[in-house]
Structure 1
Amino acid sequence: MFPLQILSQIIKAFRAGETPTQIAAGFGVGFLIGLMPFWTLQGVLLFLVLLFVNINMAAGSLAMLVAGFVAFLLDPLFHNLGYAVLTLPALQGTWEALYNLPVAPLSRFNNTVVMGSFLGGLVLFAPVYVGMKKLVVSYRSGLEERIKKWKVVQSLRGSKIVEWYVKIRDLGSMS
């Protein structure tokens, strides 16, 4: 049920619910969270941003799922990037000073995959944000009507799973 709920909320948001900026920001933050190992200081802080800032939680959840699969494939690249940054002689003093701070080790910045995925996520945040914002604007300005005509969408709308989901969803709204 959970993936169908996320998909339903995304479609509602795409149609009109929230601004394209809120949806794109939620997707961007979720994508950044999904790229890196979650149980780090920056992962938890970004998740709190997703929860408490006025951005789209459903888009963030979807992005975390998508980025989680992408991250698995990109981990070797993230390891190489993190290793390159952590072994730069010019930054050795910075890493030592950071490690000696009371809270900084909770970020696990000294792990090559954590460092590489965080940097990769920061680099990808702007293109993901801009791309999602353009997609939402495009969807609202006419793309929705074209998508509704696709055979895949029409067959999904008439499927038993979707009918079953709608019945169960509507049970909760009955008073």
Structure 2
Amino acid sequence: MFLIMRYFAKLVKALASEASPSQIAGGIILGMIIGLTPFFSFHNLFIITLILILKVNIGMALLAFLVFSGVAFLADPLFHNFGIWLLELESMQQTWTNMYNNEWWALTKFYNTVVIGSFVTALVLCIPAFPLLKYGVVQYRKHIHARIQKWKLVQAFKSTRFYSIYQTVSRVRG
């Protein structure tokens, strides 16, 4: 229970932090891509590099990775069927063959139905998700954050000695 409260507090803190809505949404989007696709895929190395290079919220990327890994587990049969459809497209046969025969493109494992199906799905979901997440963060900060701070559970947590120590350590660390 304490672990759940701690992560909920971190989520609320990240949503209300100084980070821009784009940084938070970017972290969620990149975490979503890693979570939806098989983890040990070559393209995820590129996504992790982007998380480290770009100014995105790493905590949100980790949270999104955990959430969307669970979603991917349930959606793998759909990704498999979508991957089969993609790989059997007549107009793409030459492209897939060339990619498979090229040693660098073969590293991506796009010949695997789940990898290609989940990766294309994640990329397509990024298009509407990014602006919706940005809007959601703005709306949260404008309308919801003040209400959450008034909850009795939050007030009780803030009155604990643990929270005051946490605040002191946070200020010292910057």
Deviation at 1:50, TM superposition (A): 0.8
Q: Does 1:29 align with 2:61?
A: no
Identity %: 35
1:102 Cα deviation after fit:
2.1
The letter for the 1-side match of 2:96 is W
* Alignment partners' CA distance in 1, 2:109 and 2:115: 7
Instruction: Say if 1:26 and 1:56, in contact at 8 Å, map to a contact too.
Output: yes
Equivalence for 1:155: 153
SS of 1:107's partner is coil
Indicate the residue corresponding to 2:139 in structure 1.
138
Match of 2:47 in 1: 46
**Paired position in structure 1 for 2:57:** 56
**CA distance in 2 between partners of 1:47 and 1:102 (Å):** 22
Q: CA 1:3/1:38 → structure 2, altered by over 3 Å: closer, same or farther? A: farther
- Give the TM-score normalised by the residue count of structure 1: 0.83
Query: One-letter code of the match for 1:27?
Result: I
CA distance in 2 between counterparts of 1:166 and 1:120 reads: 44
Distance 1:83 1:157, change over 3 A: farther
What is aligned with 1:80? 81
Q: Where does residue 20 of structure 2 map in the other structure?
A: 19
In structure 1, list runs of 5 or more residues that go unmatched.
none
Residues 22 and 134 in structure 2, CA contact (< 8 A), matched pair in contact too: yes
- Shift in alpha-carbon separation, 1:64–1:2, aligned structure 2, 3 A: farther
Once residues 22 and 172 of structure 2 are traced to their aligned partners in structure 1, the CA distance between those partners, rounded to angstroms, is 32
Aligned counterpart, 1:90: 91
